[in-house]
Amino acid sequence: MAYIFCRVSTNKSCGLDYQEVQIRQELEKYNWNIKETIKCVGSAYTEIPDQLYRLSELKHKSIFIYCVDRFCRNVVNGIKIATKILENKNELCFVNEKLRLVQSSGVEWDTFCKYLTFAEFESQKISKRVTDSKKYLKSEGYFTDAIAPFGYKKVKMSNGRDIIAKDFNADHILHFIDDCKSPGTSIIKLNESLAKCGGDIAQTPISLDEDSEILNTDLRYENIAQLLNDYAIEGGPLSKSKISKIYKNNSLVNLANEFAKLRISNTRENIKRKV
């Protein structure tokens, strides 16, 4: 019974399909019965993919992988997971290198370890090139991270590079979140805040349960995220965790509330000590 394992670093690649096709073509020569194809998107340099841990629990199976660097790009991790797979009486087959491992010793095992070493070295070179490139671009004033911090947005220049600029709509979003987290906020104010964010409230304004005119309790982060997403506010989609992070890190209302709680707590502690 054969299992196919394919891996790419990012999902912006057709590499998964290519690997699967190459492995299937090889298996067809010998009429192998394929039980499952497992596809993984993620790094194999700093950690072992969960899918490989799952495969390592199998017993008496054949696991086919296109090449060693798709299996792992770290010598220590690669030896660790391969040893566990082989200890469970499985076999590891690498199509491109024409390697078949059934034990963690011998000529083929030594060859496997050499390929692992090459893969790790190549990852180190790639990592250094990327790091050096980012350092240079940052020194030239370009933005190299994937996501701009809250309050800013990425702007693409004519040369294809990104810079960040102030996102003035972020202030409106923060004000809306503040209003949603403040009991006593009127429904009128909520709709006004949402409109400033770019929400079209003319057709479907926000309404509260039981037609209440004010917020009796603060809204949960997931409810705020849902509202902003429903009204297609720029910068979405937003999640519960992202709304929470924005509020806790940027809201003056939240900081004031936390400061007030701290002062009350300290005052109570001082009273206890005096008593």
pLDDT means over runs of 10, the chain (275 residues):
90 80 91 92 87 94 94 93 96 94 94 92 73 63 72 80 80 88 88 88 80 84 90 83 85 58 51 52
Helices and strands per DSSP (H, E), number in the chain: 10, 7
pLDDT of residue 273: 54
From the list 267, 260, 182, the residue with the least C-alpha distance to 217 is: 182
User: 244, exposed or middle or buried, with CB in 10 Å at 0-12, 13-18, 19+?
Assistant: middle
pTM comes to: 0.51
